[in-house]
Amino acid sequence: MAELLLELLSEEIPARMQARAADDLKRLVCDGLKGAGIGFDKAQAFATPRRLALVVDGIPAQRDDVSEEKRGPRVGAPDQAVQGFLKGAGLASLEQAEKRDTGKGEFWFAVITKKGGPTADALPAVIDAAMKALPWPKSMKWGSGTMQWVRPLQGIVALFDGKVLMGAVEPGGGMAPVAFGDTTRGHRFLSKGEFKVSGFADYAAKLRAAHVILDPAERKKIILDGARKLSGAAQVSLNEDEGLLDEVAGLVEWPVPLLGTIDAQFMDVPAEVLIVSMKTHQRYFATAKTGGALANRFVVVANNVARDGGKTIVDGNERVLRARLADAKFFWDQDRKQTLESRLPALKQIVFHAKLGTQAERVERIVKLAGALAKAVPGADAAQVEQAARLCKADLVSGMVGEFPELQGVMGRYYALGEKLPAAVADAIGDHYAPAGPNDRCPSAPVSAVVALADKLDALTSFWSIGEKPTGSRDPFALRRAALGMIRIIVENKLRLPLKPFLKADDLLAFFAERLKVQMREKGVRHDVVDAVLALGGEDDLVRLLARVEALQAFLGSEAGKNLLTAYGRAANIVRAEEKKDKALAAKIAGTPDDALLEQAEEKAVASALAEIERAVKPALAAEDFAGAMKAFAGLRGPIDSFFDKVTVNVTDRPDLRLNRLKLLNQIRATMDSVADFSKIEG
């Protein structure tokens, strides 16, 4: 067995593209090997800022002959179909095909034998096809070439069993081909010249000697361990950020964490501003004091080993950060000279959407919705709700949010606090975009919850009104996120908020129901249980709906629930079967059975049990005691089993008796379906 080593060396690959590109290269090469009938044991892909690398182990040096069968048209099919089959199979005539009876008629079959041979002969085509199919999010041409690649391609290492594969990639446009070879380069600054490699172990070792850590996971560990150590020595704690760590690991081939200092003059700027400025513009890690307040130290990751221990690098980064933070401090100081209220007229100049008007018009809609929602949220002060809703978008026209759009809402809160507005109003302005995702904090204060709901509700109803609805994976206005955010706010705060008055479109209510199912499924709730409750229809109180779902799931998990589901199935199946035979039967068997026609003790026992259950279920449902309502059914299994053991339903010579017994079975179904549609429960 042999090893395939592939390295694609280029100019710097954007950090955000590296992991996906490495996975795509691995997938495409492995698929190509399988398609060529070449087996292998395992494959590993790696990425650095300047290279993609792939090693595939356990490849046979020789390929076996492979036979492939291809079924063609039916014998006697039109000549056009036959000729297409022959051409696709590479056959000259039908004499080279086989005629077989498949049990569904006679068909032509072609048996195509692919001769084996040296594996090395097939690999260049696999590599070339994989490179051409690699789906870069953005690519470019360079020089006079026509080839598309993420950045100019500089070299290709392609070794099989330690030997260079015969092949090259043609950039086109008259440019020289990039030939397969065994030569690569190390770190751009910390190594000199090219070096040859003979296999993956030799390649990884020589790269490390040339100051390149090939494995992104190892680079991340070096960064994180180094940053923690530096922070600990400075008596601060590192603000760990997985996304930033991934990005920084994609920017350096030889990571060297260093500790810098933020000038004291900037420490009165809000912590969020400093953190965003450091992270977004400079890729620095922030640190915190004991207690969580932002510390004046930051970690920068260099891609170099400095002779002075990094002093010059740190000085340079501190100087760049000072310039960045000077801009932020300027915006902070200037923005506070103007009130949020005075900024509102400027919202008329910002278009929210061509069909939905300006941000000022959107604010008016949010104010109106918030006023209506506040009536259903205990503790929501109407005046504070109105003020927060009116000011929630004012910071969009501030200098700080213009520079750092991700701080919208956050800066509005700071400016509101600076104006001595009520804390509830300031917090609502800061919280109204939340929750932005499943791991984001959910607003809990009444005023904050109302304004956050109004913001999301306006987005949903407004875009729905102009036909901009999510389709498949397309959701440009993040309406799924808005719906999930509303669900979280309502459920986590246990708000008894009827949705129908706000979500007037039936398909918007259905959209909410689907989002609810997604959220419940992630929490381990069975989808069929949610379907059973949703099938009742008319329920738009999420708190009540979920209480019913939880009670149903718990009941079905009990022995009584499992027994009752079996009993329900026996009764419902008979009724459904008879309804299929007689389309008018459903109307005939609606309502309660006639007591005078209950002849056997077993059917009288079922009728008596149902009457007792109905007396218990109705008040339990009215009191929203769904667990109690379901427990009331527990005693029904025994009478139903006795009924089916002793009573004949389809009494052919007594139509009135047959109809009455079907009524009894239908009453079982209807009584249970008053709690949930049990027909939706799987099994």
List, for residues 18-30, the tens digit of each pLDDT value: 999 999 999 999 9
Residue range 341-493, CATH number: 1.10.3210
What is the pLDDT averaged over residues 293-310?
Answer: 95
- For residue 580, give every residue at least 6 positions away whose Cβ sits within 8 Å of its Cβ, in sequence order, or none: none
Q: For the chain, give every domain's residue range.
A: 2-62+118-209, 66-114, 216-332, 341-493, 558-680
CA distance 213 to 271: 34
| Residue 510 pLDDT exceeds 80 | yes
What is the pLDDT averaged over residues 213-239?
Answer: 97
| Residue 129 pLDDT exceeds 90 | yes
What is the pLDDT averaged over residues 583-602?
Answer: 88
Q: How far is CA 118 from the centre of its chain?
A: 44
CA distance 496 to 494: 6
| Residue 431 pLDDT exceeds 90 | yes
Residue 561: predicted pLDDT = 86
What is the pLDDT averaged over residues 60-87?
Answer: 85
What is the pLDDT averaged over residues 97-102?
Answer: 88
Residue 300: predicted pLDDT = 97
Residue 525: predicted pLDDT = 86
Q: For residue 115, what pLDDT band results from cuts at 50, 70 and 90?
A: confident
Q: Give the phi and the psi of residue 310 in degrees, each rounded to 5.
A: 100, 5
Written as one string, the DSSP assignment of 515-536 is HHHHHHHHTT--HHHHHHHHTT
Q: Please, what is the average pLDDT of the chain?
A: 92
Residue 496: predicted pLDDT = 93
CA distance 237 to 229: 9
Q: What is the DSSP letter of 280?
A: I
Look at residues 579, 283, 279, 525 and name the one whose alpha carbon lies nearest to residue 404.
Answer: 279
| Residue 683 pLDDT exceeds 70 | no
CA distance 553 to 533: 10
Q: Contact 374/380 with Cβ under 8 angstroms?
A: yes
Sort strands 178-181 and 153-160 into parallel, antiparallel or unpaired: parallel
Residue 66: predicted pLDDT = 67
CA distance 639 to 636: 6
CATH architecture of 2-62+118-209: 2-Layer Sandwich (3.30)
List, for residues 30-54, the tens digit of each pLDDT value: 999 998 889 999 999 999 999 999 9
List, for residues 242-287, the tens digit of each pLDDT value: 999 999 999 999 999 999 999 999 999 999 999 999 998 899 999 9
Residue 623: predicted pLDDT = 93
Look at residues 498, 541, 547, 495 and name the one whose alpha carbon lies nearest to residue 675.
Answer: 547
List, for residues 441-494, the tens digit of each pLDDT value: 999 999 999 999 999 999 999 999 999 999 888 899 999 999 999 999 999 999
Residue 379: predicted pLDDT = 95
Q: What is the DSSP letter of 301?
A: E
CA distance 611 to 280: 67
Q: Contact 635/609 with Cβ under 8 angstroms?
A: yes
Q: Contact 419/339 with Cβ under 8 angstroms?
A: yes
pTM of the model: 0.79
What is the pLDDT averaged over residues 90-96?
Answer: 84
CA distance 410 to 436: 13
Q: What is the DSSP letter of 484?
A: H
Share of the chain above pLDDT 70, in %: 99
* Sign of the C-alpha dihedral computed for residues 403, 242, 28 and 177 taken in this order: positive
Give how far Cα 313 sits from Cα of 225, 306, 581, 655, Å: 20, 8, 85, 96
CATH T-level fold of 558-680:
Isoleucyl-tRNA Synthetase; Domain 1 (1.10.730)
Look at residues 378, 489, 387 and name the one whose alpha carbon lies nearest to residue 443.
Answer: 489
Give how far Cα 482 sits from Cα of 79, 185, 429, 573, Å: 58, 49, 17, 41
What is the pLDDT averaged over residues 588-594?
Answer: 87
Residues found in the chain: 683
Give percent helix, percent strand, percent coil of the chain, each to the nearest 5.
55, 15, 30
